[in-house]
Amino acid sequence: MNKNLHLRPHDYFVTGTDTEIGKTLVSAALLHAMAQREWRSVGMKPVAAGADLRDGVLHNEDVDALIAASSVNAPLEWVCPYLMQTPAAPHIVAQREQVTISLPHVSACYRQLTQLADAVVVEGVGGFCVPLNAEHDTADMAQQLGLPVILVVGLRLGCINHALLSAAAIAARGLRLAGWVANTVDPGMLYPADNIAALQARLAAPLIGQIPRLDLSTDTVGAEARLAQRAAAYLDLNLLK
């Protein structure tokens, strides 16, 4: 676990109640909000599965979004030490692509980033307990980094159960849930306000933002970056404990 946690008050680990739930959007929005406060900030996604080769360089959409939102430039090998091509469960892809995911190496890359920035936002992969190899999962990774956790709750049917289970898993690892974000993934969900109220009554952490469904224009260059900037307006960093 990170022994210098008390010296890094603006570092967070972002996880979600599921995959494709808005972790990258929230992580990039956090980076934009931090930049507005003139904090030197950088995003990190230790493990990413799903990349395209462009001009001899692998690109992952999530990693690219974090890089675009960061106010500090950092080497790609620190931002994403394990970037794999196939878009599937990371432990399966790692085995098939002969990649050995090492948690000490992830921690070493995180420490390198702390030398460059006042704030490091680390985005997990999938939900909180996604396997990385035969021995470890993303919960182990979060525990080794020892950072306070921000939970992205995707607003859709079943989100209350998923959020409470995720919060319990975070607490079981001895980690602090610093805050949570309600992200609208199903705009047709019934009674979203009631679901949010139920979670506010049950999660021992503040709601730091409720993000509505934000449309992404697919034919405009830089649309994802502007999407994250718009999402940042819905976050209140003052609420983070």
Write the DSSP assignment of 91-127 as a string of letters.
HHHHHHTT----HHHHHHHHHHHHTT-SEEEEE-SSS
And the tokens for 141?
Answer: 């990774």
Catalytic residue among 3, 23, 45, 241: 45
And the tokens for 212?
Answer: 């509505």
Asked if 117 and 77 touch (Cβ cutoff 8 Å), the reply is: no
| 241 belongs to the catalytic site | no
Helix (H) or strand (E) holding 164: helix 159-172
> CB-based burial of residue 85 (10 Å sphere; 0-12 exposed, 13-18 middle, 19+ buried)?
middle
C-alpha distances in Å from residue 130, one per residue of 27, 33, 135, 182: 18, 28, 11, 21
How far apart CA 175 and CA 147 sit, in angstroms, is: 7
How far apart CA 30 and CA 24 sit, in angstroms, is: 10
DSSP E strand boundaries for the chain = 12-16, 41-44, 47-49, 52-54, 57-59, 82-84, 119-123, 149-155, 177-184, 207-211
Asked if 99 and 49 touch (Cβ cutoff 8 Å), the reply is: no
Task: Just list the catalytic residues.
Answer: 45
